[in-house]
Amino acid sequence: MRLGVNIDHVATVREARKTYEPSPVFAALLAQRAGADQITLHLREDRRHIQDRDLELIKELVILPVNLEMAPVEEMKRIALRVRPDRITLVPEKREEITTEGGLDVVSMREYLKDFLKEFKESGIEVSLFIEADRKQIEASKEVGADAIEIHTGRYANLWNEHRFAEAKEELERIREGAYYAKDLGLRVYAGHGLTYQNVRDILELEDCIEELNIGHSVVANAVILGMEQAVAKMLRILRRGE
């Protein structure tokens, strides 16, 4: 499977102090150097982490495909059509949520999305919809003109993390069935949300129907830990030897 690295939470750390570091742009370049297949970022309406300039710089400097997660609203549409990411992924968005909760209800937004997506299709920007592995949502995604879907793996991840492995296996089977159904309809199939070094292993069983995973929080969280020793050592060298 391809790996899309979501660098949102590098910006979360930066915005905690409203300063200039750590840089999500630099993080994207490091992910590229490490072999990532794609950079994913979510420009939220409240700008809680990624800022407009981050998106612009990443699109300018990163040679990997850029996947912009965004709410299906006119402001984001204007930005996306100006910056022209390689892909947009429409996600549900609530101001009060900590992270994206569940998939987009494409069924209830069918007519709105048909019109909303026209300019993206005309501009050659790939359109993906972040949805649950539900047949009605998958069918509606095809109907409104999506090129792909990204299946929400949050429930599976939470069950696995809580050691409710039997239920996690059932959810994994639901994801499998949805992925195959979407593939049969001619949609490309991606997945993501809540995946970690540990719970992602079972998802790899679905490599024949899911071609890409987008993973962010776990990668950034582990980068903080795995890189801490080097960061402290560098500061000590500066303090003690004037590096």
> Which one is catalytic: 9, 49, 69, 152?
69
Annotation says 42 is catalytic: yes
Residue 129 is which amino acid? L
> Which one is catalytic: 9, 49, 152, 193?
193
Q: Which two tokens stand for residue 40?
A: 């994913």
Annotation says 69 is catalytic: yes
Indicate left, alpha or beta for 35 from its phi (over 0: left) and psi (-120 to 50: alpha).
left
Contacts of 54 by beta carbon, 8 Å cutoff, 6+ apart:
11, 24, 25, 41
- Helices in the chain by DSSP H: which ranges? 8-17, 24-34, 52-61, 74-83, 110-116, 118-123, 135-144, 154-161, 165-184, 200-203, 217-226, 228-241
> Which one is catalytic: 42, 49, 150, 152?
42
Annotation says 193 is catalytic: yes
Query: In angstroms, rounded to a whole number, what is the distance separating the alpha carbons of residues 188 and 17?
Result: 39
* Residues known to be catalytic: 42, 69, 193
